[in-house]
Copies of this chain bind each other. A is one copy, B any other.
Amino acid sequence: MLGTMSDELAASLLSQMMSISGQISGRMREGLDRLGLTEPTANLLWLLRPDVDPLPLRKLAALLHCDPSNITLLSAQLEQRGLAERRPHPRDGRVRTLVLTPAGQDVRQRLIDAVARHSPLAGLTLDEQHQLDRLLTKAIDAL
């Protein structure tokens, strides 16, 4: 049946995605000690893009699929290390946003570089990487 075939393909893709992302976070772990981070804090750091408007803590909790109180804990850790700051939202006094400090931007970039260099995706040719980029972009935009 057609349904079965595409189900198998979907399951195979799923398994591959999980395997690769597992490899990536495994690779990430190796560098964390050196940067003085744990995996949960690194996952939060990952979301703090310097080129985008800072996100409210609540939004970060949604992106990480966890309770807001957990973000309170993790961002306090980043703050204590001088990597990020909680700033009040300019328009809404209830909201706090999390912003990287220069030191935080540096650590984040070093983390990304270290992982990207050893990622399984680095084994693909440049052309293949562009194909992959196109496919993933479409998948994400479809959300």
Is A81 interfacial (CB-CB < 8 Å)? no
Query: Given the complex of chains A and B, what is the CA–CA distance between A6 and B123 in angstroms?
Result: 12
Contact A113 B23 (CB under 8 A): no
A14's contact among B12, B24, B130, by CB below 8 Å, is which? B24
Residues of B within 8 A of A15 (CB): 46
Tell which of B20, B116, B138, B142 touches A136, judged by Cβ atoms closer than 8 Å.
B20
Q: Are B116 and A139 closer than 8 Å at their CB atoms? A: no
Contact across chains for A138 and B133 when beta carbons are under 8 A apart: no
Chain B residues with CB under 8 A of A12: 133
Tell me how many residues of A have a C-beta within 8 Å of chain B: 51
Would you call the interface of chain A mostly helix, strand, loop, or mixed? Answer: helix
A137 close to B16 (CB less than 8 A) = yes
With CB as the reference atom, state the residue of chain B lying closest to A123: B142
Docked Cα-Cα span, A16 to B132, in Å, equals 10
Mark interface residues in A103-119 (1 if CB within 8 Å of B CB, else 0): 00000000011011101
CA of A30 to CA of B1 in the docked complex: distance in angstroms? 28
Indicate whether A29 reaches chain B with its CB closer than 8 angstroms: yes
Interfacial residues of chain A within 1-58, with CB under 8 A of chain B in the complex: 6-7, 9-26, 29, 46
B-binding residues in A (CB < 8 A): 6-7, 9-26, 29, 46, 63-65, 112-113, 115-117, 119-124, 126, 128-133, 135-140, 142-143
